[in-house]
Amino acid sequence: MARLESIQQFFSSRKTGAACKAPHFLTFRSSTALIATTVNLAIFADIFFYGLIIPVLPFALSDQAGVPQDQVQHWISILLAAYSVALFIGSPVAGIYADHTSSRRWPLLLGLIALTGSTFLLAFGNSIGLFALGRVLQGISAAVVWSVGCALLVDTMGNKVGVAMGYVNISMSVALLLAPVIGGVVYNKAGYHAVYYVAFGIVGLDIVLRLTMIEKKIAQQWTKEPEVESSEADVEKTSPTEAPRDENREHSTDVTDIQPATNEPPTTSGKPDTDDDVTEPLQKKKNRRGPMVALLKSPRLLAALYGVFVESGILLGFDAVLALFVRGLFGWNSTAVAVLFLALFIPGFIAPLAGWLSDKYGARWPSLAGFVATIPILISLRFVTDNSIQHKVLLAFLLALVGFTLPFAMTPLMAEISYVIEAKEAESPGIFGDKGVYGLAYGLFNMAFALGGVIGPIWAGYVIDAAGWGTLTWNFALVSISNSRFDRPDHI
């Protein structure tokens, strides 16, 4: 029984009895540094695993699943969309659960199980069905990591949430930077399964950190309760009867003062009390039922979500077609494709600067500038048409410019979601209840990103097959124009 209670406490990080001892190394395991590191590694692992297989997926479909060469593009788009569909469906569920659960740790562990299963399926699967299931599990894991992880950072960082999101952006950038290169190089040098040995190592470290971490509010069971119990004991020893008697006297006085008004027939003077008694429960009930409705009624939030949708469609659309495009035009192998992805993702380290500008000047103008600057670059990509050094350099240069401008569009949008919640709370205190809606809000963020991830790859694959590369880049530019013209209202 003692061993069972010990195992239960390890996984739940909760007291299993009054005499339960604090976990070992409680201060370290509940430290801000460890919690932030755990969340950032979880996000890094999710993005890294996603990017790891992008350069090798075209080759894996042919070699592992036996897909005919003329159907590879079709199945790549479907597999990328499968990830996004799972992310779209799972994000609001994970977000709502994150806002209502007493602990963020358990859903993070469930997400880790999904990530582990996805890794095994994609590593050893030999059919389209197993590949698709692996991508679905990967999307579910991402939904949990982003919704619950961002909510946990808000819980932990206090008034330094912006700093935390800066680290999240760095984790994303590093993952997007390293994953395609490592995936392409390892596949070219050691084969398909060796790519996933790298993923297994990162997942193993992720498991250790998620099991080690203890939330601050859970750690307070051991750090706060002894002081409370001690102070209560002192009160009981020094004044066992007087304090309750004083308290009862105060309540008795209040009741006496109110009683005449409640016994009389309804009058004008009695209405305020009655209205307060009725209005407060109704307001609480309304707040409980409508946090998503309140969020979706915000024009600022809708504008931010549309921007996330547009950027996701562009980025994941490029992911779906870029590897095959350069393979067909330049005859490049997976290593060369992976190096090309560096040009797109290295400039992502500029994201903290974009976040700083958002904190200082608001999210609207940095994001608008990022989308406007992206338009001519996307149009210029259509001029990459020949297998020559000049066109290879042009492609890398233009992708680097896209990688520079898109973070100025995306990072402010991530910050805007928290800005909207803070503004609505300031306007209508208590509108989101006691537990807040950060998990739900970032679940909506994931839904918008996932919707773009579904439409972007499918549309990109369709356009490039039907009309070619030049038409695709025009399409991306038009989508970016639609967002740059989408007015971001100042009212919430």
Mean pLDDT of 473-480: 90
Q: What per-residue confidence (pLDDT) applies to 404?
A: 87
Q: How far apart are CA 315 and CA 476, in angstroms?
A: 10
Mean pLDDT of 53-58: 77
Q: How far apart are CA 186 and CA 335, in angstroms?
A: 8
Q: Is the pLDDT of residue 263 over 50?
A: no
Task: Quote the crossing angle between the two packed helices 105-124 and 32-52, to the nearest 10°.
Answer: 20
Each residue of 218-255: pLDDT tens digit?
877 777 644 444 434 443 443 343 333 344 434 444 44
Q: Is the pLDDT of residue 256 over 60?
A: no
Each residue of 118-150: pLDDT tens digit?
988 888 888 888 989 999 999 999 999 888 888
Q: Is the pLDDT of residue 258 over 50?
A: no
Mean pLDDT of 305-333: 86
Q: Is the pLDDT of residue 45 over 60?
A: yes
Cβ-in-10-Å burial (0-12, 13-18, 19+) of 314 comes to buried
Q: Is the pLDDT of residue 457 over 70?
A: yes
Q: What per-residue confidence (pLDDT) applies to 51?
A: 80
Q: What per-residue confidence (pLDDT) applies to 84?
A: 79
Each residue of 170-200: pLDDT tens digit?
788 788 778 877 887 888 888 888 888 888 8
pTM: 0.74
Q: What per-residue confidence (pLDDT) applies to 489?
A: 55
Q: What per-residue confidence (pLDDT) applies to 213?
A: 87
Q: Return the minimum-mean-pLDDT range out of 282-286, 321-325, 331-335.
A: 282-286
Percent of the chain residues topping a pLDDT of 70: 79
Higher-pLDDT residue of 249, 384: 384
Q: What per-residue confidence (pLDDT) applies to 487?
A: 46
Q: What per-residue confidence (pLDDT) applies to 2?
A: 53
Q: How confident is the model at residue 391 (pLDDT cuts 50, 70, 90)?
A: very high
Cβ-in-10-Å burial (0-12, 13-18, 19+) of 380 comes to middle
Torsion, Cα of 39, 40, 42, 43 (10° steps): 120
Higher-pLDDT residue of 471, 419: 471
Each residue of 374-383: pLDDT tens digit?
999 999 999 9
Q: What per-residue confidence (pLDDT) applies to 271?
A: 45
Q: What per-residue confidence (pLDDT) applies to 383?
A: 94
Question: Which one, of 26, 309, 315, lies nearest residue 173 by Cα?
Answer: 315
Angstrom CA distances, 275 to 257, 270, 281, 282, 284, stand at: 18, 9, 10, 10, 14
Q: Is the pLDDT of residue 202 over 50?
A: yes
Q: Is the pLDDT of residue 46 over 70?
A: yes
Q: What per-residue confidence (pLDDT) applies to 339?
A: 78
In sign, the C-alpha dihedral spanning 223, 226, 230, 236 is positive
Please give the span between the terminal C-alpha atoms of the chain, in angstroms, as a whole number: 54
Q: How far apart are CA 427 and CA 431, in angstroms?
A: 9
| Average pLDDT of the residues of the chain | 77
Q: What per-residue confidence (pLDDT) applies to 452?
A: 86
Q: What per-residue confidence (pLDDT) applies to 376?
A: 94
